[in-house]
Structure 1
Amino acid sequence: MPRIFTAIEIPADVAQMLTFLRGGLPGARWIDQDNYHITLRFIGDVDVNVAQDVASMLDSVNRAPFELRLEGLASFGGKKPRAVFAEVAPSAALMELQAEHERLMQRVGLEPEGRKYTPHVTLARLRDSSSRQVADYLSERGSFRSAPFRVERFVLYSSRASVGGGPYVVEEAYPLSALAARRAV
């Protein structure tokens, strides 16, 4: 039973910049730079037939390439922080792509995602980090900002069940089409 999700890959130069943010946070398990990504839709553990339906349905996505930028750091978990992440600067194109993935997954028969979509790149999973330690870390490094990068495809990843996720394997890549941009005009 594969565990799958759709995502945008992080270019190597941006991933390298993110690795410079490592350290200085007790209890952090830092994500390997090869596993940095922006999740579009977590699908979860599904049988092979559903995985094939998902892969087939994603072929219908017809969107133009777009640019993204990472801007700032934040954490999930409030008083019991569980992850530190790089925020994605607001992008209408990203939100539209994610909404399309959500609609397609519901057509395959998956339940709607219950959480509000927050585009991000997880940098570390936290174990026993205090909210004060996380606040100090964010105050020192929170002004992080990447150069813009072009998104020309999204991928269907699989992963094995493990603590902290990864390693992730690209099962299929779906190019975004410049032709879609011309049709929209």
Structure 2
Amino acid sequence: MLSRWCHERKKEWPFGKWVFEEDYHITLQFLGDCSHGQLESIVSALEAVAGKERPFTLTIRGIGTFGRLEQPRILWAGVAGDLERLRHLQQQVTTNLAPIGFPPEDRPYRPHITLARKYQKNDFITRQAGQMNPWETDESAWEAEEIVLYETRLGQQPMYHPISRFRFP
């Protein structure tokens, strides 16, 4: 559904890069480079966080952008549903990873799914995109049941490769 919607927009919205369907995700915390020792600690911390969670429902809701209104750097799909649980999960992840060397970001957490990057012209109609909500039904709902730790492999499709999965009990 999300992929189909993006495919239809590619013809009218010239973004430099559209995200590969298998790379859609909601980031809890970006880690960047980490050592082997840190990786072991990250896995332990995420196992502990996931062990205290239970599945919850999320949906896709609305479209938005980050960056300049007429030339956004990111096109995203919004997230709705049990956002309180999602924010709690994100807070637990950042709290547990801070002692390992990954402090939380200074900016507020804004859960979203990145769809495209780097709009190529100077005429993007943000208001039109922001008013769109192509997913009015429960068709977009899914159960968040796990945390996935990804490794980024630039230049590959998919770009994000799972290192570990941490299922909620």
Using the size of structure 2 for normalisation, the TM-score is: 0.84
Match of 2:25?
Answer: 37
Aligned CA RMSD, in angstroms, stands at 2.4
Question: SS of the counterpart of 2:39?
Answer: helix
Q: Which runs of 5+ in 1 are unaligned?
A: 1-13, 178-185
Find out whether 1:26 has 2:14 as its counterpart.
yes
The answer to whether the 8 Å contact 1:26/1:133 transfers is no
Q: How does 1:84-95 map to 2 (within 5 A)?
A: 84-89=75-80, 91-95=83-87
Does residue 103 (structure 1) correspond to residue 103 (structure 2)? The answer is no
Amino acid at match of 2:26: I
Counterpart amino acid of 1:26? P
Q: Is the 8 A contact 2:13 2:119 kept in 1?
A: no
Please give the alpha-carbon distance, in whole angstroms, between the structure 1 residues aligned to 2:109 and 2:160.
21
Deviations 1:46-66, CA, capped at 9 Å, x for gaps: 112112211111110110100
Tell me by how many angstroms 1:70 deviates.
Answer: 0.7
User: Structure 2: 5+ residue runs without aligned partners?
Assistant: none
The answer to whether 1:153 aligns with 2:140 is no
**Count of aligned pairs:** 161
Alignment partner of 2:42: what SS?
Answer: helix
For 1:127 and 1:135, the matched residues in 2 are separated by 11
> TM-score with structure 1 length normalisation?
0.77
Q: Percent identity?
A: 28
1:40–1:49: structure 2 CA closer, same or farther, 3 Å change rule?
A: same
Q: Compute the displacement of 1:148 (Å).
A: 1.3
- Partner of 1:104, secondary structure, is helix
